[in-house]
């Protein structure tokens, strides 16, 4: 595992091998090998892009749905989680400690579509006890990146 | 008023760095690689501790030497990183930046006409502070072929009956040079043999990219003659908090403390509370910042190689010090022309002493994206000069 490499590509997955090799002080072959190995081991699961959809003309609504589940004998939460994550509009599914069990993020074009998903698909599943749906109003920071403002260099002129 | 003001102060030179910023501030689309200040914001948990201290009404002076828990945390930190034990009651004081510590150390140690050995290129304050303290600066012009390390021979050659103190500025601003175990042992031997004090400015001590920094005070026989100066500005990106410290044997520290009492009273209280948090929970922050600096350092060295620009590989601080002698210009001419034609600020090596002639200081306390643009411009500039 190469932690420094992971930190670099977590911030910028488009960075090329040549640059990585310079920044890490390793040969390109070494970097390629490291990456390939981490891909095979499932440490690197994908190379995504962080998009601020609010700046486009495309309508997107993100819902966070808390779900309480009756775990099934022998399978715990895994089976119900799988049934849920198979829907392509479901962006993430987490098992959560605390007052509820699963946290689902859902991306749709409108509030109505999210509502439809919840009462048509989700709430009708057998082992689901209850749901609570929240809508995201504004994203300030996502994946470690601040979306709301550009950072500026605040350093003043000083000597020595 | 017609009476003359201090001749000593009037005779001090203005810092050579300033001029370039003044020119740059009149231009548009300038990339400055001139600043000697980290580009990271102070980590939030450290800032938060300062805010919390204000909420708890910690708005009063602290004791002159600084908050006890802070001095105690400094003692722990030095023991953990250098293996040196300092008594936080009598051997550690908190100052307004490392710069105050440099000033009061020299004032506490020097008698009129005592000589202070200053290796250059180095930080611009040592010489004026020595003069203001009544001392006589004796300059060692460090050599590029030694990667700007101070050698025991160079030190020996400058020692006289009047030598009182050596300033040891490593990891070095502006060259990025470091000293390693063997270098330090040799220098320590000379200091002990000739009974001279050492002001060891270790403000960049956390920023080394090879082995861990070693303090000369950790070498046997050195603690009793060394004033170890460090601070929070560079390691924790806390420049604006103005907080540093000095560790020294009691007979020196108690005298430094007198000057500090009369001139300063105490370092800023809010900063001191934040600094405790920095020392206790800041190791990971340093690690990540060091990692970033190191990537930028490698990027710059690689860029110089590609453009065939001579530069030794520096392993400390956040500066590189490339050689520009091939262009037959002075450092100042080069820096000025580069600024005028390509709108990039670099600092002429001569701002840090005569031996900086033929070099420029480039700071990498800037994002990779900025450094990339700056290196494209430097490449274009260098090609033009060569053609």
- What is the CATH number that goes with domain B7-42+284-381? 3.90.1150.10
Rounded to an integer, what is the distance from CA B166 to the centroid of its chain?
15
Question: Hey, how many other C-beta atoms are within 10 angstroms of the C-beta on B359?
Answer: 28
Q: Which residues of chain A have pLDDT under 50?
A: none
CB contact under 8 A, B39 and A155: yes
Please tell me the predicted confidence (pLDDT) of residue A154. 83
Give the C-alpha separation, A26 to A32, whole Å. 10
- Residue ranges, CATH 3.40.640.10, chain B: 59-281
- Residue ranges, CATH 3.90.1150.10, chain B: 7-42+284-381
CB contact under 8 A, B298 and A25: yes
Residue B25: strand, helix, or coil: coil
Assigned token pair, B190: 């000379």
Give the class (CATH, top level) of A53-138. alpha beta
User: For the segment A82-105, what is each residue's pLDDT rounded down to a tens digit?
Assistant: 999 999 999 999 999 999 999 999
Give mean pLDDT in consecutive 10-residue pieces for chain B, a chain of 387 residues: 92 80 85 92 97 98 98 98 98 98 98 98 97 98 96 98 98 98 97 98 98 97 98 97 98 98 98 98 97 98 96 96 97 95 95 96 96 98 96
Please tell me the predicted confidence (pLDDT) of residue B290. 98
Nearest to B322 by CA among B376, B375, B372: B375
Closest chain B residue to the Cα of A26, Cα to Cα: B298
Of B123, B299, B302, the CB nearest to A160: B123
| Helices B250-263 and B97-109, packing angle to 10 deg | 120
Nearest to B201 by CA among B248, B241, B236: B248
Tokens 């509370």 belong to B273
**Nearest-10 Cα torsion for B265, B271, B274, B275:** -60
Please tell me the predicted confidence (pLDDT) of residue B14. 82
Q: Where are the domains of chain A?
A: 3-40, 53-138
Whether the upstream peptide bond of residue B121 has omega within 30° of 0, thus cis, is yes
Contact B339, B23 (CB under 8 A): yes
Contact A69, A101 (CB under 8 A): yes
CB contact under 8 A, A155 and B37: yes
Count the residues in chain A: 160
CB contact under 8 A, B298 and A24: yes
Task: Determine phi and psi for A93, rounding to 5 degrees.
Answer: -135, 125
Assigned token pair, B131: 């003069």
Set of chain B residues whose Cβ sits within 8 Å of the Cβ of A25 = 294, 298
The CATH number, out of the four listed (3.30.2350.10, 3.40.640.10, 3.90.580.10, 3.40.50.620), of the domain defined by the range B59-281: 3.40.640.10
Task: Determine phi and psi for B172, rounding to 5 degrees.
Answer: -95, 135
CB contact under 8 A, B18 and A25: no
Nearest to A4 by CA among A23, A17, A29: A23
Of A22, A157, A159, the CB nearest to B302: A22
Instruction: Sort strands B347-348 and A102-108 into parallel, antiparallel or unpaired.
Output: unpaired
Does A78 reach chain B within 8 Å, measured CB to CB? no
Please tell me the predicted confidence (pLDDT) of residue A130. 92
Task: Tell me A105's DSSP state.
Answer: E
Set of chain A residues whose Cβ sits within 8 Å of the Cβ of B298 = 22-25
Q: How many CA atoms lie within 13 A of A144 on its CB side?
A: 7
Instruction: Sort strands B163-168 and B115-120 into parallel, antiparallel or unpaired.
Output: parallel
CB contact under 8 A, B35 and A25: no
Please tell me the predicted confidence (pLDDT) of residue B25. 83
CB pairs under 8 A between A and B: 36
Tokens 């009476």 belong to B3
Instruction: Sort strands B244-247 and B226-231 into parallel, antiparallel or unpaired.
Output: antiparallel
Does A149 reach chain B within 8 Å, measured CB to CB? no
């Amino acid at each position: 595992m190469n932690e420094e490499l992971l930190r670099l590509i977590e911030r910028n997955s488009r960075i090329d091998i040549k640059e990585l090799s310079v920044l890490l002080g390793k040969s390109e072959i070494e970097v390629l090998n490291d990456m390939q190995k981490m891909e095979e081991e499932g440490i690197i699961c994908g190379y995504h892009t962080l998009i601020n959809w609010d700046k486009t003309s495309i309508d997107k609504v993100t819902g966070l749905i808390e779900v309480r589940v009756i775990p099934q004998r022998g399978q715990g939460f895994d089976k119900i989680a799988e049934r849920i994550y198979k829907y392509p509009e479901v962006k993430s599914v987490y098992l959560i400690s605390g007052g509820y069990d699963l946290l689902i993020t859902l991306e749709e074009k409108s509030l109505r579509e999210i509502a439809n998903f919840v009462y048509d698909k989700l709430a009708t599943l057998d082992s689901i006890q209850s749901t609570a749906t929240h809508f995201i109003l504004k994203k300030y920071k996502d994946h470690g990146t601040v979306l709301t403002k550009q950072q500026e260099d605040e350093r003043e002129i000083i000597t020595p | 008023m017609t009476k003359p003001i201090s001749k000593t102060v009037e005779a001090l030179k203005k810092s050579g760095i300033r001029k370039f910023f003044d020119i740059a501030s009149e231009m548009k689309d300038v990339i400055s690689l001139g600043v000697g200040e980290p580009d990271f914001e102070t980590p939030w948990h450290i800032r938060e501790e300062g805010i919390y201290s204000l909420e708890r009404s910690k708005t009063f002076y602290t004791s002159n030497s600084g908050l006890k828990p802070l001095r105690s945390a400094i003692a722990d930190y030095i023991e953990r990183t250098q293996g040196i034990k300092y008594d936080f009651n009598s051997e550690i004081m908190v100052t307004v930046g490392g710069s105050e510590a440099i000033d009061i150390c020299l004032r506490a140690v020097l008698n009129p006409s005592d000589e202070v050995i200053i290796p250059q290129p180095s930080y611009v304050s040592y010489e004026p502070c020595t003069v203001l303290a009544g001392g006589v600066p004796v300059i060692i012009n460090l050599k590029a072929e030694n990667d700007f390390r101070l050698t025991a021979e160079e030190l020996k050659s400058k020692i006289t009956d009047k030598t009182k103190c050596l300033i040891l500025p490593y990891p070095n601003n502006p060259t990025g040079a470091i000293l390693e175990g063997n270098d330090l042992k040799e220098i320590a031997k000379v200091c002990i043999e000739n009974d001279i004090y050492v002001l060891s400015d270790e403000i960049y001590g956390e920023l080394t990219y090879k082995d861990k920094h070693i303090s000369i005070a950790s070498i046997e026989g050195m603690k009793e003659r060394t004033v170890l100066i460090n601070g929070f500005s560079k390691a924790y990106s806390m420049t604006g908090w103005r907080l540093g410290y000095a560790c020294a044997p009691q007979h020196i520290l108690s005298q430094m403390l007198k000057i500090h009492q009369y001139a300063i009273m105490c370092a800023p209280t809010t900063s001191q509370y934040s600094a405790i948090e920095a020392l206790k929970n800041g190791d990971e922050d340093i690690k990540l910042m060091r990692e970033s600096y190191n990537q930028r350092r490698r990027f710059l060295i690689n860029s110089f190689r590609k453009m065939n620009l001579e530069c030794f590989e520096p392993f400390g601080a956040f500066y590189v010090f490339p050689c520009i002698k091939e262009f037959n210009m002075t450092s100042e001419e080069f820096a000025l022309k580069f600024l005028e034609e390509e709108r990039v600020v670099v600092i002429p090596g001569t701002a840090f002493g005569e031996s900086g002639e033929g070099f420029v200081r480039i700071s990498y306390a800037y994002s990779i994206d900025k450094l990339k643009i700056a290196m494209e411009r430097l490449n274009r500039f260098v090609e033009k000069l060569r053609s």
